[in-house]
């Protein structure tokens, strides 16, 4: 389940990056945004994984 979640998030991230490429040619801005997305993504995965774990 966690692996499927990660795949979905990676696909979403790819889509977002593709959209950003069109709108923001500036590599620094894109890299900065990707870093922010990565952190948010990892938090989502982490909190999602924690919730999936049995008590």
Per-residue pLDDT of the chain (55 residues; tens, 9 = 90+): 788 888 888 888 888 878 776 665 667 777 787 888 888 877 877 776 666 656 5
Q: Are the beta carbons of 30 and 24 closer than 8 angstroms?
A: yes
R_g (Cα) of the chain, nearest Å: 13
Which residues span the domain enclosing 22? Answer: 2-50
The answer as to whether 55 is a domain residue is no
Q: Model pTM greater than 0.85?
A: no
d(CA 33, CA 37) in angstroms, rounded, equals: 6
The answer as to whether 41 is a domain residue is yes
d(CA 38, CA 34) in angstroms, rounded, equals: 6
The answer as to whether 19 is a domain residue is yes
The predicted structure's pLDDT at residue 36: 80
| Positive or negative: CA dihedral 21, 24, 25, 29 | negative
Question: Structural domain tally of the chain?
Answer: 1
The predicted structure's pLDDT at residue 4: 86
């Amino acid at each position: 389940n966690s692996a499927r979640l990660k795949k979905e998030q990676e696909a979403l991230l790819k889509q977002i990056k593709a959209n950003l490429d069109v709108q923001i040619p500036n590599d620094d801005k894109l890299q900065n945004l990707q870093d922010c997305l990565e952190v948010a993504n990892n938090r989502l995965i982490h909190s999602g994984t924690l919730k999936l774990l049995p008590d």
